[in-house]
Amino acid sequence: MKTLGLTFFPTQFSGEAAQYELGMHRLPQMIGDAWRPEWIQLPGTDAAVNARRIADTRPDFVLLHAHRLQVPDALALANALGELCPEVPLLQCGWTAHPPYVDAVIAATGPLESPVFGLACGEVEAVLPAVLERVASGAAFLELEGLPGLALRDAREQGWRGSARYEYIHDLDALPDVSLEHIPKAWKESKAGWLELARGCRFRCSFCYGSAFEHPELRRFGPERISAGVLRAAEQGVSVLGLLSSSNSFDVELLRSLVGAFRSQGIRNMAVAGPVHARYVRGEVLDLLGALDWRLMTIGLQTTNHDAQRLIRRGDDPEALAETVERIKAFITPEIEIVLGLPGDSPEGFKSTVRFLLSLPVNITVHTLRLDPWSSFLMEREKLGISADFVKGARVLGHPSFSAEQMEECRTFLRELGAGPWSYRAGQLALDGEHLNAKQKRRAN
């Protein structure tokens, strides 16, 4: 029997990471009797320490999940493990498993020298079973070329072999349930849990990895799976259940299943958190959302600038958003997410978006634009003149319509806004995870 090292960096309570980590927790039920899973929680980011931690388990194959900020650490680990165990393949999975993105990180951090490094592109359940079946039958690393979703690094040519297409599961109900035995300790201690409702998205925003979907249909889990997931979370004592879906307002049938599960099982002490698309919050969707106890509801506005909206392939109407927010405020103050540094936007356009949101009963979260793996902006960055720091999660530094100096000017605008007197309808103001008006809100309360 061969040993599969299922390997994780320390992770936060993040929906972007959770889908892929939950996928890894399904794999033991999908890989057959030829493999024994070995769960490896890495203690930190030191490559030598992590390589030794993995080597001590004597794996035959290693699967490593890496989120955006962890890709440099994953590459350093691949090099260190390649020195200790040059015969043990390491596959990186997660939404960062995208050859052009990894190449950009390599260019910024130094060469990748591991002789057996690859990427599992897309949803891990769609890629790994076939890979492990071939390895168990005796296939060498480069003989795996051609398997769906697999990109193999050619150490000699410093390039990639394989199609590297984003693979995904079409029938989600065919997937086994998540094994709960090795769920990260931090999730258990925080009494946080995750429930996958659907995958895919109706939109293909230029800044998002959803650009990779060749068939961007919404794929949802069935009512029985959703009901079982809700009950399992309640039995575990989960206090906040993260709803994993590109939007929990896209599909009224999905919402009926979710709310029905809470009602039929009489669950009243478990809150939910997740994204909602304002365009669809009306009628029955609004009623169903209001039937849940929301701890956090996020709505991605991104910008009110028409030029930027055109480039990101979104056309959200600010006034329609305002009407939706006024309806939602009866049961939750939503968190509205906007982006600093979008192509097509400008300092004045960005400030106008902020001022618009200050007049609404919302919390405002500003994210500096990053070039996400698989996104159109990543692939077209030279055409758009975008420069980014791939050592720090591909954080955008500037481009022709938004210089680095102008981006810093907007950060100063936000900090001064947060430090000044606060008489707006909006509550929280945050920039890249930093709460800017916390002191003013504490005084007000």
**220-238: pLDDT as tens digits:** 999 999 999 999 999 888 9
Q: Give the N- to C-terminal CA distance of the chain in Å, as an integer.
A: 61
Q: What is the pLDDT of residue 210?
A: 80
pLDDT tens for 78-98 read: 999 999 999 999 999 999 999
Q: What is the pLDDT of residues 350-388, one digit of tens each?
A: 999 999 999 999 999 999 999 999 999 999 999 999 999
SS3 content of the chain, % helix, strand, coil (to 5): 40, 20, 40
Dig out the tokens for 312 from the structure: 């990101």
- Mean pLDDT over all residues of the chain? 91
pLDDT digits (tens, 9 = 90+) for 235-272: 888 999 999 988 888 889 999 999 999 999 899 899 99
What is 2-161's CATH number? Answer: 3.40.50.280
Q: What is the pTM of this model?
A: 0.94
2-161 shares its CATH topology with 191-444? no
- Give, to the nearest 10 degrees, the angle between helix 252-264 and helix 283-290: 30
Q: Is residue 177 a contact partner of residue 228, using CB atoms and an 8 Å limit?
A: yes
Answer with the residue of higher pLDDT: 189 or 329. 329
In eight-state DSSP terms, residue 181 is T
Question: Residue 216's pLDDT is what?
Answer: 60
Q: Look at the chain and count its residues.
A: 445
> How far is it, in rounded angstroms, from Cα 185 to Cα 437?
32
CATH superfamily of 191-444: Aldolase class I (3.20.20.70)
Q: How far apart are CA 367 and CA 431, in angstroms?
A: 6
| Cα–Cα distance for residue pair 213/41, rounded to 1 Å | 30
Whether 186 contacts 206, CB under 8 Å: no
Residue type at 260 in one-letter notation: G
**Measured distance CA(242)–CA(307) in Å, rounded:** 33
Pairwise CA distance, residues 286 & 278, whole Å: 10
* Structural domain boundaries in the chain: 2-161, 191-444
CA distance 68 to 90: 18
> Would you place residue 193 in the very low, low, confident or very high pLDDT band (cuts 50, 70, 90)?
confident
Q: For residues 297 and 193, which has the higher predicted lDDT (pLDDT)?
A: 297
Q: What is the pLDDT of residues 20-30, one digit of tens each?
A: 788 888 999 99
Asked whether the predicted pLDDT for residue 441 surpasses 60, the reply is: no
